[in-house]
């Protein structure tokens, strides 16, 4: 048996429908499937989302975009980071949309497109306060005429990223105002097909508070995967039992001997470790389910394996599937124990884990 991550189609579809009901009529979804769909498996998730009507996707880099294209994803794919010079050709040839944050980058893309006798599709990225990538308002105002002269570029979209939409309303409102001003400055010259500013937190907390901005899409990640308010978790993580040890009192378990046995214990070795994304900081701190019974994870988590106290599990045997977390689990608690956020917990899930649509 393999270590497996099950992705619930039912819950994923529920989340899509929930998002559609939450946003204004006529608005659409850009599904963020970067970082292997936040650990869920990008090609599996994107193909299923495409089946149920989602046609626009966001990724972090050209490799992720090409993997989608090579796996039958036909709609718009936006790279939200910067493509280097040698990647621009690949993007243009595969109809992949590029984010642009500087005039120099746009000129470079335009020259590449001209050589290919093609038109490059881009989204203008606007920095409204994230201080990461993007044009600011004044910079864009100075350079808009230079941008409009680029003949081999189609400016399909414009967007920003709300950096504090979960914790700071005043700052978020200022970001939204800044984006609105930028959009107003440009919309007489550019007809945008894609206008997007609301991420998952923005969609949940601000989308219905903004009446006078003509956006077209929400750009959601964690909402899709079910670890936000009113959504359903889509991931279940399991690992098989490889071996069972019958141990006696005072026997030390694992690296450093951080767990010392009580009398007559059964310790199962399971096929998952920190190389698979099960954080070592969870050692001796969480429980897992073995045949429906809550069992402590004991000893330090190893690179490839972990140990579980199965003393109280009747008829436990090798190859039994151990549930690390289920669809019902709130991963915020596990993440808190390991000093992470949910994004880290799921996106750190390793490539050795088999992904299965459930």
Report the C-alpha gap between 268 and 304 in whole angstroms: 14
Contact 14, 49 (CB under 8 A): no
DSSP codes joined into one string, 144-185 = HHHHHT-TTEEEEEEEE--SSTTT-HHHHHHHHHHHHHHHHH
Residues in Cβ contact with 105 at an 8 Å cutoff, skipping those fewer than 6 apart: 82
Residue 48 among the catalytic residues? no
Residue 236 among the catalytic residues? no
Catalytic site residue from 255, 285, 317, 332 = 255
CB neighbour burial string for 319-355, b if at least 16 within 10 angstroms, e if fewer: ebbbbbbebebebeebbeebebebbebbbbbbeebeb
> Residue 186 phi/psi, 5° resolution?
-100, -20
- Quote the radius of gyration of the chain (alpha carbons, Å): 24
Strands 153-160 and 321-325: unpaired
Report the C-alpha gap between 187 and 23 in whole angstroms: 23
Contact 231, 22 (CB under 8 A): no
> Residue 5 phi/psi, 5° resolution?
-115, 115
Catalytic site residue from 6, 27, 34, 121 = 34
Contact 135, 126 (CB under 8 A): yes
Report the C-alpha gap between 106 and 144 in whole angstroms: 12
CB neighbour burial string for 291-315, b if at least 16 within 10 angstroms, e if fewer: eeeebbbbbbbbeebbbbbbbebee
Measured between alpha carbons, how far apart are the two ends of the chain, in Å?
Answer: 17
Report the C-alpha gap between 200 and 195 in whole angstroms: 15
Q: Which residues are catalytic?
A: 34, 255
């Amino acid at each position: 048996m393999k270590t497996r991550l099950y992705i619930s189609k039912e819950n994923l579809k529920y989340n899509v429908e929930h998002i559609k009901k939450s946003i204004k009529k006529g608005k659409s979804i850009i599904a963020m499937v970067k970082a292997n769909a936040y650990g869920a498996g990008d090609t599996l998730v994107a193909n299923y989302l495409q089946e149920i009507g989602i046609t626009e996707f966001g990724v972090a880099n050209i490799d992720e975009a090409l993997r989608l294209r090579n796996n039958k994803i036909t709609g718009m794919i936006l790279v939200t980071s910067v493509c280097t010079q040698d990647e621009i050709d690949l993007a243009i040839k595969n109809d992949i949309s590029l984010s642009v944050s500087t005039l120099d980058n746009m000129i470079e893309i335009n020259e590449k497109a001209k050589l290919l006798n093609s038109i490059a599709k881009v989204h203008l990225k606007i920095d409204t306060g994230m201080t990461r990538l993007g044009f600011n308002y004044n910079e864009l105002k100075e350079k808009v005429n230079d941008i409009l002269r680029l003949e081999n570029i189609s400016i399909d979209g414009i967007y920003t990223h709300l950096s504090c939409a979960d914790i700071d309303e005043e700052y978020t409102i200022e970001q939204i105002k800044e984006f609105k001003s930028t959009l107003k400055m440009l919309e007489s010259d550019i007809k945008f097909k894609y206008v997007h500013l609301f991420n998952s937190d923005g969609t949940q907390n601000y989308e219905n508070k903004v009446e006078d901005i003509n956006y077209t899409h929400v750009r959601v990640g964690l909402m899709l995967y079910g670890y936000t308010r009113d959504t359903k978790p889509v991931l279940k993580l399991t690992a098989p039992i490889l071996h069972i040890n019958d141990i006696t009192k005072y026997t030390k378990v694992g690296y450093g001997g951080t767990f010392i046995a009580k009398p007559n214990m059964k310790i199962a070795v399971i096929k998952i470790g920190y190389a698979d994304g099960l954080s070592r900081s969870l050692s001796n701190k969480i429980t897992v389910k073995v045949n429906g019974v809550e069992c402590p994870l004991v000893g330090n988590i190893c690179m490839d394996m972990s140990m579980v106290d199965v003393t109280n599990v009747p008829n436990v045997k090798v190859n039994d599937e151990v549930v690390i977390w289920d669809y019902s689990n709130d991963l915020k608690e596990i993440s808190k124990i390991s000093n992470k956020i949910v994004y880290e917990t799921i996106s750190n899930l390793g490539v050795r884990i088999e992904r299965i649509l459930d």
